[in-house]
Structure 1
Amino acid sequence: MRIFIRVGIIGAFLLLMYLMISMSGSWRVKRSFPEGVTDQKVVSGKLDRIEQTLNKLAKLVEEYGQKKFTETDPLDVDQEKEEKQQKPVIPKLYPDSYLFTSWGDDLSQEEQKEAEALFHIYGYNAFLSNRIPLNRKLPDSRDSRCLVKNYPTDLPSIGVVLIFVNEALSIIKRAVESIITHTPRHLLKEIILVDDHSTYNDLGKPLDDYIDQINKERPGLVKKIWHLQQMGLSQSRITGWEHATADVVAILDAHIEATQGWAEPLLARIKADRTVVVSPVFDKVHFDDLHVERYIPSSHGFDWALWCMYESFSPDWLMMSDESQPGKSPSVMGIFAADRDFLGEIGGLDGGMTVYGGENVELGIRVWLCGGSVEIVPCSRIAHIERAHKPYAPDLDPAMRRNALRVSDIWLDEYKRNVFIAWNIPLQVGCSTSYSKVVDVAKAIVSAVKDPDVLGKTYVLVGPNRYILYDLVKYLYKVSRTIFVPYSLPRPLFHLAAIVLSSVPHDPWTTPDKVDRFHISDLKYPGLPGMEDLGITASTVEQRAIEVLRRHRRRHYRDPDLEEIKPPKTVTF
């Protein structure tokens, strides 16, 4: 094949030379022919010469091709075969793995094992991430009109919050490097890393050493906050927002890469309207080979199950035919920037959301109903890794279902029935509050009672008021600790039965200790202050939460999510 290409090139070159000579000759002939020579004779002569020249050229090309074919082509073919034979064929150890569908053909077996193990841990190609530069250059996917925009010189400062749990260290470093590189120095006030209780060793001292290295050049730029227990996506964002001091807080995932000019368009929109919450356009970083795919700007919508989804912008935006213009959006996909004070004015984020899912929809609904708006800014681009799976939550449905029901109960009023239908939950006629929300409040009360640092804090439940936690815990503990156990016999007889049962080989269903603790009637509470006495008007949810706690105390084996309440040592009654 190579021989024919060479012959073709040589032939084309010779033909080009001939045409140039022929044109030059024809010009000379035209000027030198004597009068009386007809055009037909001239043309006939030219054609004869062209035919002779082409015959010579064809013969020359044929001889050259035969020579090369006999001398070179067999060697080239043999060389290619030899190279293929010499190169070892490494079998794929994981042919069904998503990681090796289109990547990893040249890896040794040991490298395949390492890459697959890291893929299961992180959900993306950490093996490759550890081997590519931290400051790699990404393609500029912005619209050309974005490149000529001018932004105000007095933009607000920005603090970037990166949240993560058990993230690959190289991924975190690349996110930090990209933010520092692509954010103007005078605008970037801080980078806050919120670690939601990671357990991997390289996120301890190695990450701390990396932070210290950056802070030597730019003192105080990077901060790290570590949760003492895993608190979930929403609470991690709240932690970052609470520790931020810049005018604008941008809350991002840690598996991102900022691109050139990502910050200025967001800050300009917030400077123009402090009540707007803005989101960049996400470009997709593929989880296997980490290449970047450009995404077109779209709004961030959601269905009735409150799963996020991309939707087209409004017809008005489409009629502008200008991809550099911001577009309104019902919600955000989880990465956003907002005026730090405005976010506090609308109540921040919902810390009651667990694990993952629904928190971004909740924020969008909250912003719109509290007088703000949400916009997607196409001139701001963030490259975001889309994991193949989320290692911290293999099954997202339980957490998402719970969070969706919470959002519907708080914000959607009569439309929450649509959320129930989307999750295939039977509608409860005449029930003003879903059971899941009652259990959620009960869990919050359990956690509050077990908290050793409750004194002087203010605790927010779902009712209209804020409660002093000490008074609330004191009341709820007194209610929940007096458990009603419907024993039909007097206590001494049950005590004797418990002693007899303790002597049998199998586990007894009751013991003398349980009788002493549980044989109490809560039909009456003499002298017990009510919530009204504490200046608290309890909502239906909180009253039902107390009932849940009472049922839990006498049937705790049926509700494993609620732990048995024990008073903290620092609280006395």
Structure 2
Amino acid sequence: MFRSRLRVHTCKIVLITSMVWFAMDVAVIMYYSDCSTGSGWGCGRIESGMATSPREGRADHHKGRAIRNHQSEHEDLDLSGWHFDYPVGQLKRWEPRPTVPDHPGLPGEMGKPVRTPPGQEVLMKEKFKLNQFNLLASDSISLNRSLPDVRLEGCKSKNYPPLMPTTSIVIVFHNEAWSTLLRTVWSIIQRSPRPLLQEILLVDDASERECIDYLGLELEQYVKTLPVSVKVLRTVERSGLIRARLLGAKEVTGQVITFLDAHVECTEGWLEPLLARIAEDRTRVVCPIIDVISDETFEYVTASDMTWGGFNWKLNFRWYRVPQREMERRGGDRTQPLKTPTMAGGLFAIDKEYFEKIGRYDEGMDIWGGENLEMSFRIWQCGGTLEISPCSHVGHVFRDKSPYSFPGGVVNVVMKNSARVAEVWMDEWRDFFFEMNPELEGSYHSSFGRWWSNSSSLVGALGCLEVYGIDALVPAQTEALV
């Protein structure tokens, strides 16, 4: 009898224990089973080994599902042979924009020159003074005029990745003419793949009273009618190009920041070569070929693809012929991106996170001048690569002189900025710079105080190399630069 009862109790214990273990097994299986599809409860932190609260687990689960949904959208694409420096789920598929149609007979179509009508020469000269270009000609040209396809033949047949990052365009303006500013905007809209164009940010650097009628409320109302997101930001007081660009950069939501000037025209296929290079390597900073738009006639003139950026010992930017060693590195293929020591600075694309990582612009530099060399040295010495893409062309209105007044004077501002660049980024070459420019030693070099040590600490914190710009990038030109 006793054995019989013991046997019954034993069976009950075994049965209950089995049920408990079975329930635990089911719970564990449900918790971990479907991480491959994202439906497992605890999938959010499994790979990292981090514990999560139920709320965190749910958030990660939904985030993971969103990324996987994006990836499933691209399952039909053949991505073999393409390397991406971004998670595939964060990239956008795109299609080229249709060619902007030509309207024969209208002024400036296909980049042709506009001639001043007889009897309007005096009016043209008066208006020329406002912006230091032929405003009469600019105003007569359509805001979305046609342009010639100036790319090399090899560029027209190039294949670009089917997925690329999005970009936000940042444009700083001050007292800009309506027609040049809006032609810049329309050229971006008309010739940029729509899924890749996140937004356009127009930063008004305290335009003056006589321009407020059209650059104020009228501009804000106009951009609301455009087919892409365009925002107008404004500085409280004149801040200069560097600080105004930083204001715009803080507001971007795209993965890549593309800086452009306010009087440019983007041509066919201008954006894809820039984003393609960055999609493969986020530390690449890429510039287009900068073509010339005549300040007199607004004729579009193609620039050479056989020049790159350098500088002289006043730290003025200069164009130099691409040396043979760079042609050999590219295998003689002129459509391949070329590595350039420095850039002109007005037009370039840079990954937003990389821009932040290398410390952005030097906010201590005033108004304009020297920021292009400072950014060039910063890129090369802080682990990046600076390139010019021969397959990307953007036209720029070049002027003989600036129409803007600089607080403190143009020369003083530019030389002060150059002295800052030399002190922070040129290491032992800074002494040579000040020997070549002795007037700066007393006027600027000793007046910056503790800023120098702070900046040098920043350079050290970024892990940047010393004098990489001159010694490693332009050895063949060192004598010419002196």
Task: Return the TM-score normalized by structure 1.
Answer: 0.56
The equivalent of 2:222 in structure 1 is 210
1:290 alignment partner, one of 256, 275, 298: 298
The equivalent of 1:369 in structure 2 is 381
Please say if residues 143 and 186 of structure 2, whose CA atoms lie closer than 8 Å, have aligned partners that are also in contact.
Answer: yes
CA shift, 1:463, in A, is 6.8
Matches within 5 A, 1:54-203: 106-108=117-119, 111-199=120-208, 200-201=211-212, 202-203=214-215
Matched to 2:319, the amino acid is Y
Deviations 1:168-221 (A, max 9, x none): 01111100000000000111010000111111121112211211111xx44xx1
Matched to 2:335, the amino acid is S
The equivalent of 1:350 in structure 2 is 362
Matched residues in 1 for 2:127 and 2:353: separation?
40
Please say if residues 402 and 436 of structure 1, whose CA atoms lie closer than 8 Å, have aligned partners that are also in contact.
Answer: no
Secondary structure at 2:318 match in 1: strand
The equivalent of 2:69 in structure 1 is none
Matched residues in 2 for 1:174 and 1:105: separation?
20
Matched to 1:411, the amino acid is W
Q: Does 1:378 align with 2:398?
A: no
Please say if residues 250 and 338 of structure 1, whose CA atoms lie closer than 8 Å, have aligned partners that are also in contact.
Answer: yes
CA-based RMSD = 2.3
Matched residues in 2 for 1:270 and 1:169: separation?
32
The equivalent of 2:248 in structure 1 is 240
The equivalent of 1:523 in structure 2 is none
The equivalent of 1:327 in structure 2 is 338
Secondary structure at 1:332 match in 2: coil
CA shift, 1:314, in A, is 3.7
Secondary structure at 1:311 match in 2: strand
Is there any run of 5+ residues in structure 2 with no aligned partner, and where? 1-112, 459-482
Distance 1:391 1:271, change over 3 A: same
Matches within 5 A, 1:162-561: 162-199=171-208, 200-201=211-212, 202-214=214-226, 217-218=227-228, 221-297=229-305, 298-319=307-328, 320-334=331-345, 335-393=347-405, 396-425=410-439, 434-438=445-449, 462=455, 464=457
Deviations 1:120-175 (A, max 9, x none): 11011111111111111111111000000010111110111111111001111100
CA shift, 1:362, in A, is 0.1
Matched to 2:397, the amino acid is I
Please say if residues 239 and 367 of structure 2, whose CA atoms lie closer than 8 Å, have aligned partners that are also in contact.
Answer: yes
Matched to 1:151, the amino acid is Y
The equivalent of 1:527 in structure 2 is none
Secondary structure at 2:164 match in 1: coil
Matched to 1:273, the amino acid is D
Matched residues in 2 for 1:171 and 1:244: separation?
23
Matched residues in 1 for 2:116 and 2:186: separation?
30
Matched residues in 1 for 2:410 and 2:258: separation?
25
CA shift, 1:434, in A, is 2.0
Matched residues in 1 for 2:114 and 2:265: separation?
21
Secondary structure at 2:396 match in 1: strand
CA shift, 1:371, in A, is 0.7
Number of aligned residues: 337
CA shift, 1:113, in A, is 3.5
Please say if residues 169 and 200 of structure 2, whose CA atoms lie closer than 8 Å, have aligned partners that are also in contact.
Answer: yes
Please say if residues 417 and 427 of structure 1, whose CA atoms lie closer than 8 Å, have aligned partners that are also in contact.
Answer: no
The equivalent of 2:67 in structure 1 is none
Task: Return the TM-score normalized by structure 2.
Answer: 0.66
CA shift, 1:273, in A, is 1.0
Please say if residues 288 and 393 of structure 2, whose CA atoms lie closer than 8 Å, have aligned partners that are also in contact.
Answer: yes
Matched to 2:373, the amino acid is V
Matched residues in 2 for 1:385 and 1:229: separation?
26
Deviations 1:61-103 (A, max 9, x none): xxxxxxxxxxxxxxxxxxxxxxxxxxxxxxxxxxxxxxxxx98
Please say if residues 377 and 425 of structure 2, whose CA atoms lie closer than 8 Å, have aligned partners that are also in contact.
Answer: yes
Identity %: 35
Distance 1:273 1:426, change over 3 A: closer
Secondary structure at 1:348 match in 2: coil
Matched residues in 2 for 1:172 and 1:374: separation?
27
Matched residues in 2 for 1:349 and 1:289: separation?
34
Matched residues in 1 for 2:281 and 2:375: separation?
18
Matched residues in 2 for 1:393 and 1:124: separation?
16
Please say if residues 166 and 254 of structure 2, whose CA atoms lie closer than 8 Å, have aligned partners that are also in contact.
Answer: yes
Distance 1:106 1:366, change over 3 A: same
The equivalent of 1:509 in structure 2 is none
Secondary structure at 2:448 match in 1: helix
Distance 1:104 1:186, change over 3 A: closer
CA shift, 1:426, in A, is 6.9
Please say if residues 104 and 112 of structure 1, whose CA atoms lie closer than 8 Å, have aligned partners that are also in contact.
Answer: no
Is there any run of 5+ residues in structure 1 with no aligned partner, and where? 1-101, 443-459, 466-573
Matched residues in 1 for 2:195 and 2:400: separation?
37
My pick for the range that moved more, 184-193 or 232-241, is 232-241
Matched residues in 2 for 1:286 and 1:273: separation?
35
Secondary structure at 2:155 match in 1: helix
Please say if residues 401 and 423 of structure 1, whose CA atoms lie closer than 8 Å, have aligned partners that are also in contact.
Answer: no
Matched residues in 2 for 1:103 and 1:263: separation?
27
Matched residues in 2 for 1:372 and 1:463: separation?
19
Matched residues in 2 for 1:261 and 1:277: separation?
18
Please say if residues 116 and 124 of structure 2, whose CA atoms lie closer than 8 Å, have aligned partners that are also in contact.
Answer: no
Matched to 2:157, the amino acid is V
Matched residues in 2 for 1:347 and 1:426: separation?
26
The equivalent of 1:21 in structure 2 is none
Matched residues in 1 for 2:355 and 2:441: separation?
34
Matched residues in 1 for 2:402 and 2:302: separation?
23
Deviations 1:514-565 (A, max 9, x none): xxxxxxxxxxxxxxxxxxxxxxxxxxxxxxxxxxxxxxxxxxxxxxxxxxxx
